[in-house]
């Protein structure tokens, strides 16, 4: 493609989302950065880092679980940047709880952001990609959606839903020149991960289970995402790639 490529990254203010946004900017993308208003300062700092790299970055504040907010966001992106070539659905939350005591509201909140949010963003952006006969969709799932862990049943269910959704989406949009793939990060040291990883014993356990014997960094996820957002992956769709240092060996 001759024009500058535009990528939308949701949940881009910190952690994996921030690393993905910076990684795409390094590879020549201009960025539409999304997060909730609470993360305004952090998201604007990411935009400033990208601008310092010589790429364009604009911030859009929306709750991805709200259809109206997502549609308004996509409209603003089109007005500002023209279109969207790649979408990275990274926004996600985790509220730990055992199944027996899991509040219904916590189940709904996790499913709304992680699963429904992915669906709503894709639904809003598909007309653009269909019109231009081009699109790269990369949904961030998790190895938790494959194996799960105690107190994360709802999180695991939401990420499994993202993987199933992506497989069907790939079949529907393939003839339109659009690819759809998933990344499953493993144990990554982020604000969300620190809840467990700051405990030395827990950290040691996960390191021992990983073939590369270390905890992942957010930057470890950026390269694989960039591959799925690029034309190097033009004949790759409906796939789920583990980016976990060798925990899930399949």
Q: Which residues neighbour 4 within 8 Å (Cβ) at sequence distance 6 or greater?
A: 28, 29, 30, 56
The DSSP H or E segment spanning 242 is: strand 240-243
Q: Which residues neighbour 231 within 8 Å (Cβ) at sequence distance 6 or greater?
A: 1
Catalytic residues: 155
Q: Is 198 exposed, middle or buried (0-12, 13-18, 19+ CB in 10 A)?
A: exposed
Q: What is the DSSP letter of 46?
A: H
CB under 8 Å, gap of 24 or more: what pairs does 223-226 form? 223/23, 224/183, 225/20, 225/23, 225/24, 225/88, 225/138, 225/140, 225/183, 226/20, 226/23, 226/24, 226/27
Tallying the residues shown for the chain, one arrives at 250
SS3 state of residue 201:
helix
Q: What is the DSSP letter of 190?
A: S
Contact indicator for 24, 226 with CB cutoff of 8 Å = yes
In angstroms, rounded to a whole number, what is the distance separating the alpha carbons of residues 99 and 94?
A: 14
């Amino acid at each position: 493609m001759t024009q500058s490529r535009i990528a939308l990254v949701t949940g881009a203010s910190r952690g994996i989302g921030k690393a993905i946004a910076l990684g795409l900017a390094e590879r020549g993308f201009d960025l539409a950065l999304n997060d909730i208003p609470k993360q305004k300062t952090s998201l604007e700092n990411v935009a400033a880092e990208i601008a310092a790299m010589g790429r364009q970055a604009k911030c859009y504040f929306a709750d991805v679980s709200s259809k109206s907010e997502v549609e308004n966001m996509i409209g603003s992106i089109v007005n500002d940047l023209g279109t969207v070539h790649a979408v990275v659905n990274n926004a996600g939350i985790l509220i730990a709880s055992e199944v027996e005591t899991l509040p219904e509201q916590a189940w709904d909140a996790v499913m709304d952001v992680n699963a429904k949010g992915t669906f709503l963003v894709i639904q809003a952006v598909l007309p653009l990609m269909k019109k231009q006969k081009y699109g790269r969709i990369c949904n961030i799932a998790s190895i938790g959606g494959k194996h799960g862990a105690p107190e994360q049943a709802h999180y695991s269910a939401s990420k499994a839903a993202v993987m199933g959704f992506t497989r069907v989406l790939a079949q529907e949009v393939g003839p339109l020149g659009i690819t759809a793939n998933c990344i499953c990060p493993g144990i990554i040291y982020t604000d969300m991960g620190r809840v467990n990883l700051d405990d030395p014993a827990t950290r040691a356990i996960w390191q021992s289970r990983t073939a590369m014997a270390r905890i992942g960094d957010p930057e470890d996820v950026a390269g694989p995402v960039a591959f799925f957002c690029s034309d190097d992956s033009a004949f790759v769709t409906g796939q789920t790639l583990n980016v976990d240092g060798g925990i899930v060996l399949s």
